[in-house]
Amino acid sequence: MTPPDPTHVDPIRPDGSPAFRLMTVHAHPDDESSKGAATTARYVSEGHEVMVVTCTGGERGSILNPAMDRPEVLADIPGVRRAEMARAAEILGVQHRWLGFVDSGLPEGDPLPPLPEGCFALSDLDEGTAALVAVVREFRPHVIVTYDENGGYPHPDHIRCHEISVAAFDAAGDPDRYPGTGDPWQPLKLYYSHGFSRARVVAFHEALLARGLESPYAEWLANWPADRPDSATRVTTKVRCDEWFAVRDEALKAHATQIDPTSRWFFIPPEIQREVWPTEDYELVRSLVDSSIPEDDLFAGLTQPADVLRAG
């Protein structure tokens, strides 16, 4: 493990305890608000530092909110989505970096059309890894969160995001990898986020029906492939963050081209969300510190000042 940089001072929270740094790596603007946003808002409020990295500009995203289907928006989707991302980052209180790759879109049809030339999903793995390593070495996160090997769902950009995140976790601390991208820094924990498990959907569906309310999830559950494993079985870490669900929702709404405020994102009353599923859920896949499973904190095991941990 790379020795600590003696010129670097790790942040301290107001109560004198060490602050840690969390990096979340996402494919498109709006992913940071739909996956783990309440967790990031919680950690920011507690005095930790959080950086969101967005791999692409979302240039090929469709307009999913009818209210934003306007000529001036269609004329500059990249610019609009950058402005939406800036507003969401402000709401969450996070730092933000673009990696600068181009959205692959989500080709559909039979036969499936090819991905567009020059898109993120077709980019060289080394190029994407080097770009992310540079940001890791700049921000020096103790914990990185990304998607699982299926991308959370099999969007080509999400899968590529997973691939470069895992590669960067391993490479960032190696002084022989990617020279010229900053001083080596080894993150200590790597997580996959698991926000859309079947168990979670079922819990909300049943809670709504039990209260005599309409559920928007009946069709989704009816069409759930019987052979699809439930990601809930992989969860190791449940972070309680229901106090920050309102912040998450405001960040989601900031992505007005992508989020319809009348959609199922906001169908479940806040009190039911807090009662039925007050956590955001993760899978610990790599750790260089001791931490007992199950966890309730992404920083579990990071009980010493960060440079002491790094020197270990």
Phi/psi-derived region of residue 188, left when phi > 0, alpha when psi is between -120 and 50, beta in every other case? alpha
Residue 191 neighbours by CB distance under 10 Å: 25
Strands (E), the chain: 21-26, 49-56, 95-101, 143-146, 189-193, 237-240, 279-287
CA 249 to chain centre: 15
Q: Which position has the token pair 């807090």?
A: 274
Gap between the Cα atoms of 120 and 6, Å rounded: 37
Residue 117 neighbours by CB distance under 10 Å: 7
Is-contact 240 278, C-beta < 8 A?
yes
Residue 158 annotated as part of some ligand binding site = yes
Is-contact 137 183, C-beta < 8 A?
yes
Any residues with CB less than 8 A from the CB of 130 and at least 6 apart, and which? 178, 181
Residue 28 annotated as part of some ligand binding site = yes
Gap between the Cα atoms of 64 and 130, Å rounded: 33
Type and span of the H or E element at 192: strand 189-193
Secondary structure letter of residue 295 according to DSSP: B
Adjacent-strand bridge partners of 53: 25, 97
Q: What Rg value do the Cα atoms of the chain yield, rounded?
A: 20
Type and span of the H or E element at 41: helix 37-45
Residues of each annotated binding site for Zn(2+): 28, 31, 158
Residues of each annotated binding site: 28, 31, 158
